[in-house]
Amino acid sequence: MKNNKIPKANLYQTVIDYGKSKALRFHMPGHGGKNIDSAVYGAASCDITELPVSDNLHRPESVIKTAQKEYCRVYSAEYCHFSTAGATAAMQTAILTLKKKNKKVLVQKNSHQSVTNACIMFGIDYEIFSTAEELKNMELGNFSAAVITSPYYTGRIFKGFKSAYRLLKKNNVAVIIDQAHGSHFIYHPDLKKYFYNGDFVIISPHKTMNTLTGGAVLLGYKKELKDKTAESFNMIHTTSPSYPVMASLDYARYIFETRGTDILDKVKDNVETFRKSLNKNYEIEITEDFTKIVLKTAFDTKELYDKLISKDVYPEMYTEDYLLFFVTYWNCNSLHYLSNLLNSIDLNRKTRTEGAKFNNKINVIKEHKAKDIDDTEYINPEDCLGRKLAVSVGRYPPGITEIFEGETIDQERFEYIMKYKEILTGLINGKVGVYKK
């Protein structure tokens, strides 16, 4: 599409225009659009509510409807819903829509916690699988839906997607694809082939594009699910969506449609220059997505992470094996500074931090019954050895479940919980949720 034919971001413009107008606001939100203090209120004039000009997310008829239609066109979807409550609300909507009596949901092991949390909230039994191969030996008729995450946080895509998809469809299992980290894929020729369509696709432009935090989209590819999806969405999503976030979804679509390939080419070039400029203490793991830098190092990763923070440089996260940096058009010019800093850093060579290294290949319990929240009690981490976990846990970021509800906390799991208790999502007020005895 020629640039002058690309539909403008009308929702974005409408929000700005209202922000600039002299309208006397006797409506929510309470700050009245005034910059009453500091930078936090800088966008207050655009923080509006449902008005005749600004449409309604739960009954879109004008500017929101048009902005959503543009997403459908770009991502070839039949219909879509903007979420200002992240990919999490989009995932909940998809799972509730596909809930069927006496059917379970298949959850890929490295899914974000929002997937199994949604199953628990809606009383759906779920089963864990790891690879496309594994699906061949499962009784797929027992499932109404499967959730596949691709790409992962690090930019790796799910191997064997096409064969898994074919098998699932053959068995009438609906497919939800969590592409929260792949919203930008369709805008670049190297990445486009990794963008997959399913019954539902969840994208999260706030992660890898220029959308404000919380902006995600549920893309629907099955016309016959349109009404049901709208019902689920209306139950789940707040009736007070953030207009700055919705406007920035609209704007990010416009920017990437207009010059997304150039934007991503710049990222690709800068990442490549960065990779070449690193000294021999570092290595970048190549994943399918060039915007993710998975930095392996001869140093202790925690020590390196802390050192970078002390220099005011903030990676996305670290694990025992790597540091992860998210690169976009808006930070890629600083990669030069980062490589100089990394090359000049003086640290101890890798020494594993004391304590257990949790084995991510540990066998997980596959079958999970929907639990009742009243079955849970909350105990200090020190006391959880031997108990049965009731609330799944995993390090945050990235929020992937590492020990699942239903698993008994053996020595290895116990050491893991003790080691990471400061950064574990799933701990409740610092306590471990276990089943009552």
Q: How far is the CB of 186 from ligand PLP (least distance, A)?
A: 17
Contacts of 368 (CB under 8 A, 6+ apart): 116, 119, 125, 126, 127, 128, 404, 405, 406
Q: How far is the CB of 34 from ligand PLP (least distance, A)?
A: 29
Among 79, 82, 143, 153, binds ligand PLP (CB under 6 A): 153
- Answer yes or no whether residue 150 interacts with ligand PLP by CB under 6 A: no
Q: How far is the CB of 96 from ligand PLP (least distance, A)?
A: 15
218 touches 90 (CB < 8 A): yes
Among 66, 144, 149, 211, binds ligand PLP (CB under 6 A): 149
- Answer yes or no whether residue 252 interacts with ligand PLP by CB under 6 A: no
Q: 50 or 178: whose CB is closer to ligand PLP?
A: 178
- Of residues 185-204, those binding ligand PLP (CB under 6 A): 204
Among 178, 250, 288, 402, binds ligand PLP (CB under 6 A): 178
- Answer yes or no whether residue 248 interacts with ligand PLP by CB under 6 A: no
Cross-strand pairs, 107? 128, 147
Q: 44 or 87: whose CB is closer to ligand PLP?
A: 87
Q: 41 or 161: whose CB is closer to ligand PLP?
A: 161
Contacts of 101 (CB under 8 A, 6+ apart): none
* Residue linked to tokens 């471990």: 432
- Answer yes or no whether residue 301 interacts with ligand PLP by CB under 6 A: no
Q: 172 or 360: whose CB is closer to ligand PLP?
A: 360
- Answer yes or no whether residue 88 interacts with ligand PLP by CB under 6 A: yes
- Answer yes or no whether residue 205 interacts with ligand PLP by CB under 6 A: no
Among 114, 144, 208, 401, binds ligand PLP (CB under 6 A): 114
Per-residue burial over 169-202, b if 16 or more Cβ lie within 10 Å, else e, is eeeebbbbbbbbbbbbbbbbeebeebbbebbbbb
Q: 33 or 398: whose CB is closer to ligand PLP?
A: 398
- Answer yes or no whether residue 294 interacts with ligand PLP by CB under 6 A: no
416, amino acid identity: Y
The window from 48-56, 80-88, 238-246, 264-272 that contacts ligand PLP (CB under 6 A) reads 80-88
Q: How many helices (H) and strands (E) does the chain have?
A: 12, 16
- Answer yes or no whether residue 402 interacts with ligand PLP by CB under 6 A: no
Q: Cα(285)–Cα(295) distance, rounded to whole angstroms?
A: 6
Q: How many residues of this chain interact with ligand PLP, rule: CB under 6 A?
A: 14
Residue 243 three-state SS: helix
Q: Cα(243)–Cα(366) distance, rounded to whole angstroms?
A: 40
- Answer yes or no whether residue 147 interacts with ligand PLP by CB under 6 A: no
201 touches 75 (CB < 8 A): yes
- Answer yes or no whether residue 87 interacts with ligand PLP by CB under 6 A: yes
Cross-strand pairs, 389? 434
The enclosing H or E element of 66 equals helix 63-75
Q: How far is the CB of 202 from ligand PLP (least distance, A)?
A: 7
- DSSP assignment of 128-143 equals EE--HHHHTTS-GGGE
The window from 65-73, 133-141, 176-184, 316-324 that contacts ligand PLP (CB under 6 A) reads 176-184
Q: 204 or 232: whose CB is closer to ligand PLP?
A: 204
Nearest to 371 by CA among 388, 387, 396: 388
Q: How far is the CB of 219 from ligand PLP (least distance, A)?
A: 14
Q: Cα(128)–Cα(150) distance, rounded to whole angstroms?
A: 16
The window from 174-182, 234-242, 299-307, 369-377 that contacts ligand PLP (CB under 6 A) reads 174-182
Length of the chain: 437
- Quick count: other Cβ atoms within 10 Å of Cβ 42? 10
Among 155, 205, 394, 398, binds ligand PLP (CB under 6 A): 398
Q: 178 or 300: whose CB is closer to ligand PLP?
A: 178
Q: 149 or 339: whose CB is closer to ligand PLP?
A: 149
- Answer yes or no whether residue 93 interacts with ligand PLP by CB under 6 A: no
Cα 209 to chain centroid distance, Å, stands at 12
Per-residue burial over 71-94, b if 16 or more Cβ lie within 10 Å, else e, is bbebbebebbbbbbbbbbbbbbbb
Residues that bind ligand PLP (CB under 6 A): 86-88, 112, 114, 149, 153, 178, 180-181, 204, 216, 398-399
